[in-house]
A = this chain, B = another copy of it.
Amino acid sequence: MEKIEEEVKKRTVVELLTEMKNLAQLSVDLAYSVLLFGSPELAEEVRRIERRVDELSMVLKAKLALAIRDLEDVRHLLPIMELTQSMEVITDAANDIAETVAMGAEPHPIVQKAIAESEEKIRLVRVEEGSELDGKTLGELRLASETGMHVIAIRRGSTWIIGPDKDAKILGGDVLIVRGRDEGYRKLKKMASGRG
């Protein structure tokens, strides 16, 4: 609960809404990838996002409760409550998909035949301490041009950097959520493993 109390104090409503919205969109992306490519690791990320959005929702509701002084406030803040609720609905929905798939269903041939070998996939890369990626910014690494892989989010413990820019720094222990082809993925995994 300490973390939640701290966030209630320190973060603005718009910051919290933005984080929820970005996480909700990311969870839809990941759930879709789980369905197409069936990765239990990605399904776990969808679950994590769902838990984080629940947490953010608590923080936001606490903040709003503190901000409400009269009925006029209630009327104006209802849409924000509505959005908060919807982001929970969305991440729950994404989680349902991921769980259904994680329970063991292989993609149906109707899906499989549409996925060419060359197709871009979303996957996870764990960054080891002391690896080539550890301590570098995305700008320094030029991953997109070096490996063809696009970093769509960085997870650090229970926080996410979504759509990181070139100044975002990668640290040992981070999980990168990346989009790209098989070849680039292999290259990037090597760079992240300390055996680059």
Q: Within the oligomer, what is the number of copies of this chain?
A: 2
Q: A14-B36, A14-B111, A35-B17 are in contact. Are A105 and B78 (CB under 8 A)?
A: yes
Distance in angstroms between the alpha carbons of A24 and B85 in the assembled complex: 16
Is there contact, CB below 8 Å, between A21 and B28? yes
Number of interface residues of A (CB under 8 A): 44
A179, B94: Cα distance in complex, Å: 26
Closest to A34 in B: B79
Known contacts A14-B115, A28-B24, A29-B21; is-contact A82 B97 (Cβ 8 Å):
yes
Q: Is A159 an interface residue (CB 8 A)?
A: no
- Closest-CB distance, A84 to chain B (whole angstroms): 10
| Shortest Cβ gap from A75 to chain B (Å) | 7
Between-chain CB contacts (< 8 Å), 19 pairs: A13-B110, A13-B111, A13-B114, A21-B32, A28-B28, A28-B90, A31-B86, A32-B83, A75-B105, A76-B108, A77-B110, A78-B105, A79-B97, A79-B101, A79-B105, A80-B111, A85-B93, A89-B89, A89-B93
